Amino acid sequence: METECIMLLPSVCAVLANPELPIPDDTCLEKLLDWFKVMTCKAPVESLMQQNTCLTELIATVIKQKDPEPCMLSFIFRLTGLLAASVDGFSFLEHLRLLGEVFGNRELMQKRTWEDATVRCGWIHGLLNAVQNLKAFQFILKNELIEVILPLQQDCSLFVSSAASQLLIQLLTLPAQQSMNAPVLRGDGHSSDMKDLLQSTSNENHEWTDVVKHIGMHVEETLLSGEPFHIEQSLKLMTLACKRCEPWILQILWEKVVGHIESLLETHPTTLTQPLVELLLSVSRTPIYQEADSTISTLLMHFLQTISPAQAGSLASGILNLKNCPQSLGMSAISVILHPLEFILYSASQQPQDPGLLETRFYEDMTIEEQLCRKTSCIALLGNSLSHIHELLEIITQPYYATHFRPEAILSSVLLVLQMCIGAAIPTTPAGSQICRHLIGSVKVQKFAVDALGSILHLKGIVVSDSVHHLLLEYLRNPDTDSLVLKKVMQATLKYVLCFSDLTAMWPIFDKDLFPVLKKRLCDIRWEVRDSTLELLTHLTLHLQDNEEFPPLLLNSGILQIAMSLLKDHEGYVRASTVSFLGQAIYIMNNKDDKLNSNTIQFTQEGIVSQLVDILSQDSESFPRRAALRVFTGWLQQCSRLPIENFEESLSVVFKVGCSDFDWEVRVHSLELAEVWIDQTLANTLVPSCPYAVTPSTDLKRKSLSELMLKLKTLQIFDILFVGLHDCDRPVAQKACAVLMSLQKIIFEKGDFPTNEVSTNGHEKAGSILKDCFLTQNSAAQTGLINLTGKTVDNIAEILAALDLKTIQNNLGHSSDYIQNSPRSLLQDILAVAETTVDNVIDCY
């Protein structure tokens, strides 16, 4: 602990112990506890308490107060728990008889304060903190605190009951954690040493098994109580036990409750469905679930049959994710999920003898029909089915299931749902007509269905029919398509296009259908739609850039003309997406030996650079400016065929404008651009492209480096790096530092630049220039420049060599609020609040 903190702590404890003074807010107390937790981990707790007696005094004072504030009492409970977590700390507190007073104080539990949930919660959390060692375990048993904890597990406050459940689980698992003779589970799920354990004469084991039995009885009683809330808490406790307890303990508990669970499955109220589902799924993931023992499988199957189709979705999904799930159970779970879609397929089937989705149906058709004919349950049920398609696809492509399910049939049903949603499907049954009425215009179902469609299209080897692109186009054209649905449709369209290895058949669709509708969507009244369209076009351009047919199609579609006008769109996001799209599109137009549009200056890189510079210097929002810089960076990264020299003039403006931007991300992007420029220039001048090439001579290297330095100076990259090093935003400074470090490395380590040539006064110069930078940071921020004019390349090299970048990097590694967040400032804050209030009180008189 820092000395200053040691000095401040007694005063803070005095403030906290003084009931006259207002209590610091909860956040302060929480931070204080966090700090104590760190402290208890770093140093022996006993010595900590010995050195800071104020802590134990604080505990003793508050616990003896007649009517302590609930939050303060809660704090004391948790603090005591933290200090008692280690054996030495526990012994120390026990020696002071504080533990009994804090946790074993029955009188306190009779007081009104106890009625406050904060206090009960603090007490439980305190014990939870403390029960990290066996002494604490013994303490609980000795003081019969388990009798207090068990009722709290049924507490009306969910925080209290949840914490009590955690504590009970901790009690069940602690002895095993403490390396007692924990029995090992045999393959049949039974403990080989369980009998030995139960018969063991060891005191600890007896006590432990008693605790297990006690808790088991408690769960059993509450399950029989008939109170849904109590039952729910016990089910949650069991679920938690499944996740954390040793298998043999779980076995004892499970054997006690399984009968009751079985009867609950029959008669449970709907509020208990979800907790029961969670418990059954949790127990299925433990070692006691064995293939040989079919009890749990039977329970799962039984429950699947008992609950309504609308509630069965999560259970079916959980079953499918089980390891070693019996195939019959898996088939049933799949059937539960797919049955609504099967019914939809059947309700609009022109030929009833068509093969459907399922060989056997889990429910009676009547049951599903009844659900689908009611609007709310129809949408919920279909939403449920469709949302599970993604995970279902992974399962039904496994060898066993693949013979029973065809992804193409699922695709047909999803397409049918989507057709129904826009009134394009023709139902053949009265139920189908009713379902159509519910689905027309349902955005919720559309979202799920388009997501499902996307997942299916992503499937390898899926055979897609023309109906897919017809439907996608219909959604793209439909003026009523919701903007979010449209976004998903566009994502699905991309997946659809990527399904084809040979796009020959797709080009006419691009030309006649897709591009015209995308053109219209680029002019959509909703900015979200314009943005999504630009995103789709960007992705298409990225993925299809190597297809020779794509660039001319794009150029002749008229999309680029409209996109150019979107550079002036009102919405910043749209301008940003337009910049990204045009950057990519124009790159692929020009990255050919035979440029497509040599006559159209508008669509050459040279033509658009001025527009991007305008955006960078004039756009009022940061997104388009960031996008413009990313385009330049992207171009430079991909510039295998584009000469960098073409852009050097513009780049100096870009660096200058970008680095003086108000937005720190724009400044970071500017530095990234500088970094890429340096890398590319170096790659072109220094590094041999072929590993077997002749290594250039030292003189040549030096010459090249000098040229590089000169270019860097001319483009004022040094200026922006030095200014960036002192940027008020840490990420910018870090980036500048990283770039400078890599430059240092290249110039002085790899490049054999004569460091010894750095004159002795280099450090001074570096210091004075950086000082200048620092002092004139405001003006530098405005201009993005510092005054390096008149400095030679060697001068700059001297500065670079003299900079202690490692130290700077280390300093920048600290969080910017590390001073404000220190424990010292926390303690000072608590004191300051108390003092201010005292002054106020005096003022009042």
Partner 1 sequence: MKLYCLSGHPTLPCNVLKFKSTTIMLDCGLDMTSVLNFIPLPLVHSSRLSTLPSWIMKDGNTILEKGFKDCAGRVFIDSLPEFCLPEKELLDLSTVDVILISNYHCMMALPYITEHTGFTGTVYTTEPTLQIARLLMEELVHFIERVPKDQSAVYWKSKEMWRLLPSSLKDAVDVTTWKPCYNIQDVNAALSKVQLVGYSQKIELFGAVQITPLSSGYSLGSCNWIIQSHYEKVSCVSGSSLLTTHPQPMEQSSLKNSDVLILTGLTQIPTANPDGMLGEFCSNLAMTIRSGGNVLVPCYPSGVVYDLLECLYQFIDSASLNSTPFYFISPVANSSLEFSQIFAEWLCQSKQSKVYLPEPPFPHAELIQTNKLKHYSSVYGDFSNDFKQPCVVFTGHPSLRFGDVVHFMELWGKSSLNTIIFTEPDFSYVDALAPFQPLAMKCVYCPIDTRLNFIQVNKLLKELQPLHLVCPEQYTQPPPSQVHRSDLMLDVQMPLMAYKRCSVLTLPFRRSFERIEILPQLADSLMPIEMKPGVSVATISATLHSKDNKHVLQPPLKTMVPPLSKKRKRVIEESTELKAPKPLLSGTIPVELFLATLHKNGITEVKMEDTSEGHILHLQEEDTLIQLEDDSTHIICDNNESLRSTLRDLVLRFLQKL
> What pairs with residue 185 in β-bridges?
191
Site for partner 1 contains 390 (CB under 8 A): no
The answer to whether the CB of 339 falls within 8 A of the CB of 353 is: no
> What pairs with residue 191 in β-bridges?
185
Site map (CB under 8 A) of partner 1, residues 639-678, x = contact:
----------------------------------------
Q: Which residues between 153 and 212 bind partner 1 (CB under 8 A)?
A: none
Identify the burial level of 635 via C-beta atoms within 10 angstroms of its C-beta, where 0-12 means exposed, 13-18 middle and 19 or more buried: buried
Site for partner 1 contains 349 (CB under 8 A): no
Nearest to residue 29, comparing CAs of 76, 63, 62, 65?
A: 76
Site for partner 1 contains 618 (CB under 8 A): no
Of 298, 565, 698, 761, which one interacts with partner 1 (CB under 8 A)? 565
Return the exposure string of 134-165: e unless at least 16 CB atoms fall within 10 Å of the residue's CB, then b.
bbbbebbbebebbebbbebbbbeeeebbbbbb
Of 558, 688, 754, 813, which one interacts with partner 1 (CB under 8 A)? 558
Q: What stretch of H or E contains 372?
A: helix 365-372
CA–CA separation, 795 vs 758, rounded Å?
Answer: 8
Site for partner 1 contains 582 (CB under 8 A): no
Site for partner 1 contains 350 (CB under 8 A): no
Q: How far apart are the first and last CA of the chain?
A: 40
In one-letter notation, the amino acid at residue 659 is C
Q: Provide the minimum distance between the beta carbon of 347 and partner 1 in the complex, in angstroms, as a whole number.
A: 12
**Could you tell me the two tokens for 632?**
């330049």
Q: Provide the minimum distance between the beta carbon of 606 and partner 1 in the complex, in angstroms, as a whole number.
A: 23
DSSP class of residue 513?
I
Site for partner 1 contains 524 (CB under 8 A): yes
Q: What angle do CA 77, 81, 85 make, to 5 degrees?
A: 175
Q: Provide the minimum distance between the beta carbon of 584 and partner 1 in the complex, in angstroms, as a whole number.
A: 20
Site for partner 1 contains 687 (CB under 8 A): no
Of 520, 595, 701, 824, which one interacts with partner 1 (CB under 8 A)? 520
Site for partner 1 contains 98 (CB under 8 A): no
* Residue number, 437 or 495, with CB nearest to partner 1: 437
**Could you tell me the two tokens for 420?**
């129904």
Nearest to residue 79, comparing CAs of 107, 50, 112, 57?
A: 57
Site for partner 1 contains 775 (CB under 8 A): no
Tokens 């209030």, located at residue? 837
CA–CA separation, 390 vs 731, rounded Å?
Answer: 38
Return the exposure string of 265-283: e unless at least 16 CB atoms fall within 10 Å of the residue's CB, then b.
beebeeebbebbbbbbbbb
Nearest to residue 482, comparing CAs of 431, 418, 410?
A: 418
Q: Provide the minimum distance between the beta carbon of 478 and partner 1 in the complex, in angstroms, as a whole number.
A: 8
Site for partner 1 contains 285 (CB under 8 A): no
Nearest to residue 721, comparing CAs of 747, 700, 702?
A: 747
Region of 263-271, 418-426, 586-594, 610-618 interacting with partner 1 (CB under 8 A): 418-426
* Residue number, 379 or 462, with CB nearest to partner 1: 379
Site for partner 1 contains 525 (CB under 8 A): yes
Site for partner 1 contains 436 (CB under 8 A): yes
Rounded alpha-carbon distances, angstroms, from residue 599 to 557, 588, 606, 691: 17, 16, 13, 40
**Could you tell me the two tokens for 423?**
């009134």
How many residues in the shown chain lie near partner 1 by CB under 8 A? 28
The answer to whether the CB of 840 falls within 8 A of the CB of 21 is: no
Q: Provide the minimum distance between the beta carbon of 393 and partner 1 in the complex, in angstroms, as a whole number.
A: 30
Q: Provide the minimum distance between the beta carbon of 438 and partner 1 in the complex, in angstroms, as a whole number.
A: 9
**Could you tell me the two tokens for 727?**
């940027």
Of 267, 570, 699, 817, which one interacts with partner 1 (CB under 8 A)? 570
Q: Provide the minimum distance between the beta carbon of 844 and partner 1 in the complex, in angstroms, as a whole number.
A: 49
Sequence-separated (6 or more) residues with CB below 8 Å from residue 577: 530, 531, 534, 535, 538, 627
Q: Provide the minimum distance between the beta carbon of 566 and partner 1 in the complex, in angstroms, as a whole number.
A: 9
The answer to whether the CB of 272 falls within 8 A of the CB of 228 is: yes
Nearest to residue 753, comparing CAs of 814, 786, 707?
A: 707
Site for partner 1 contains 569 (CB under 8 A): yes
Nearest to residue 650, comparing CAs of 705, 601, 611, 696?
A: 611
Region of 138-146, 211-219, 432-440, 594-602 interacting with partner 1 (CB under 8 A): 432-440
Q: What angle do CA 760, 761, 767 make, to 5 degrees?
A: 130
Site for partner 1 contains 549 (CB under 8 A): no
The answer to whether the CB of 383 falls within 8 A of the CB of 448 is: yes
Region of 140-148, 424-432, 641-649, 715-723 interacting with partner 1 (CB under 8 A): 424-432
Site for partner 1 contains 64 (CB under 8 A): no
Of 6, 184, 217, 440, which one interacts with partner 1 (CB under 8 A)? 440
Of 249, 562, 576, 612, which one interacts with partner 1 (CB under 8 A)? 562
Query: What's the chain's length in residues?
Result: 845
Q: Provide the minimum distance between the beta carbon of 560 and partner 1 in the complex, in angstroms, as a whole number.
A: 11
The answer to whether the CB of 770 falls within 8 A of the CB of 725 is: yes
Site for partner 1 contains 561 (CB under 8 A): yes
* Residue number, 499 or 529, with CB nearest to partner 1: 529
Site for partner 1 contains 519 (CB under 8 A): yes
* Residue number, 525 or 842, with CB nearest to partner 1: 525
Site for partner 1 contains 556 (CB under 8 A): no
CA–CA separation, 779 vs 772, rounded Å?
Answer: 11
* Residue number, 357 or 567, with CB nearest to partner 1: 567
Site for partner 1 contains 630 (CB under 8 A): no
Site for partner 1 contains 374 (CB under 8 A): no
| CA dihedral sign, ordered 620, 621, 624, 626 | positive
* Residue number, 423 or 813, with CB nearest to partner 1: 423
CA–CA separation, 42 vs 63, rounded Å?
Answer: 27
Of 111, 186, 190, 437, which one interacts with partner 1 (CB under 8 A)? 437
Region of 563-571, 612-620, 659-667, 702-710 interacting with partner 1 (CB under 8 A): 563-571
Region of 82-90, 107-115, 264-272, 429-437 interacting with partner 1 (CB under 8 A): 429-437
Q: Provide the minimum distance between the beta carbon of 380 and partner 1 in the complex, in angstroms, as a whole number.
A: 20
Of 95, 97, 106, 568, which one interacts with partner 1 (CB under 8 A)? 568
Site map (CB under 8 A) of partner 1, residues 459-488, x = contact:
-------------------xxx--------
Q: Provide the minimum distance between the beta carbon of 420 and partner 1 in the complex, in angstroms, as a whole number.
A: 10
Contacts with partner 1 by CB under 8 A lie at 423, 425-427, 433, 436-437, 440, 478-480, 519-527, 558, 561-562, 565, 568-571
